[in-house]
Amino acid sequence: MPVPVTNLLPEEISEALALKVYQGRQLFRWIHAKQVFDLDAMTDLSKQMRQDLRSRVFLPQIRPMEVLRSCETGDKTQKCLFGLADGETVESVAIPERDRLTLCLSSQVGCALNCAFCATGQAGFRRNLSAGEIVEQALYLLRDSDRGGRTPNIVFMGMGEPFRNYDAVAKAIRILMRKDGLNIGARKITVSTVGDVPGIERFAAEKWQVRLSISLHAANDALRSKLVPLNRTYPLAQLLDAARGYCQKTGRQLTFEWALMRGVNDSVRDARELVALMPGLKAAVNLIPYNRVEGLPYEPSTPEACRAFQSVVESAGIKATLRRERGGDIDAACGQLRTRQASTPPERA
Ligand code: SAH
């Protein structure tokens, strides 16, 4: 069986392919530092070895099927739909902002957690991604986008729940951080969870500085259980316990995500409820106007409601960033491109 080499660290490549240690490192460097997948282009490997490896490595594991570039002025948000070897599809987004370039990666095909407002959950769960299928999304986006000297940030905010595919996500992070690969600093990587408590506890025990984001969206159990069904398994008291434990254990700050939905979770009262949860936590709040999803009844909050919400949180001394909606014209919200693709054939292959 050909070896899916992007699942592996350099030492593991050498072992899996019975290569010398330095040869595994060479292969790793070509793939991750230079984003080269074509064995023929790996000129410091002997011709004989390239020939030999051709039938022994499974590379790449994912192939871009459709690339959409946002037309919004000054916003070159780029979204890519990838085909996997078994015919499944996933998507990722590259979002450039002044001195930053954020890559939003998927961790699963579909998602089992069925958040009421999210496009990904609508089609259910298909399967976990391998570490290589995760890492290759970043490699492609970087190869394909104008980096302009910017170092990328990585957020696990695409399709799927990263903590329901913990091992592959953790392995992907270790590969992304390798100095002889993409060399992305731990603080530039954020894992976003819907609130999977065992995952948060495991993450808190990791010896790394990778950031954690929790998708809160509601600060009382009645509303949160409606929006995020996993709240019935891990209600707010338990989730906040785990969040406080994370802050204490790691000394790090975490972020709460809050998608502002008109008339659902965007009132001053909702903001006050959120503020009341914050004692004992080192946390900042990320506010995102909801991105419409076809077929779902949720609407983005008005700019006035967004600002009023933000101002209540900030007046309590909590940092609250109001994000701009990005890439709306290319369905950049989580799961939307794949959802559209499932019903209509791609126009551009
Ligand atoms: N499962 C993980 C990561 C994927 S979703 C999680 O829930 O955190 C990344 C973020 O996008 C989450 O905060 C999610 O709630 C939010 N999100 C999903 N659909 C959205 C939409 N249509 N508009 C705005 N935010 C959305």
Domain map (residue ranges) of the chain: 5-53, 62-343
Q: Give yes or no for residue 340 having a pLDDT over 90.
A: no
Active-site residue numbers?
91, 334
Between the CA of 245 and the centroid of ligand 1 the distance, in Å, is: 23
Pocket test for ligand 1, best of 122, 257, 264, 331 (most atoms within 8 A of CB): 257
Lowest mean pLDDT among 46-60, 299-313, 325-339: 325-339
| Atom 5 of ligand 1: nearest residue by CA position | 157
**Closest-CA residue to 63 (of 179, 144, 118, 125):** 144
pTM, 2 dp: 0.93
Q: Give yes or no for residue 349 having a pLDDT over 70.
A: no
Pocket test for ligand 1, best of 161, 334, 336, 340 (most atoms within 8 A of CB): 334
Between the CA of 206 and the centroid of ligand 1 the distance, in Å, is: 24
Radius of gyration over alpha carbons of the chain, in Å? 21
pLDDT tens sequence across 30-80: 999 999 999 999 999 999 999 999 999 999 999 999 888 776 656 578 899
Pocket test for ligand 1, best of 102, 155, 214, 215 (most atoms within 8 A of CB): 215
Between the CA of 42 and the centroid of ligand 1 the distance, in Å, is: 39
Tell which atom from ligand 1 comes closest to the C-alpha of 111: 1
Q: How confident is the model at residue 188 (pLDDT cuts 50, 70, 90)?
A: very high
Q: Give yes or no for residue 328 having a pLDDT over 70.
A: no
Q: How confident is the model at residue 345 (pLDDT cuts 50, 70, 90)?
A: very low
- What is the distance between the alpha carbons of residues 285 and 216, in angstroms, rounded to a whole number? 10
Q: How confident is the model at residue 326 (pLDDT cuts 50, 70, 90)?
A: low
Q: How confident is the model at residue 335 (pLDDT cuts 50, 70, 90)?
A: very low
Between the CA of 288 and the centroid of ligand 1 the distance, in Å, is: 10
CB within 6 Å of ligand 1 — which residues?
115, 117-118, 157, 161, 192-194, 215, 257, 259, 288, 290-291, 293, 333-334
| Atom 14 of ligand 1: nearest residue by CA position | 215
CATH node for 62-343: 3.20.20.70
CATH topology of domain 5-53: DNA polymerase; domain 1 (1.10.150)
Between the CA of 264 and the centroid of ligand 1 the distance, in Å, is: 16
Between the CA of 194 and the centroid of ligand 1 the distance, in Å, is: 8
| Atom 4 of ligand 1: nearest residue by CA position | 157
Q: How confident is the model at residue 266 (pLDDT cuts 50, 70, 90)?
A: very high
Q: What is the pLDDT of residue 19?
A: 96
Q: Give yes or no for residue 183 having a pLDDT over 90.
A: yes
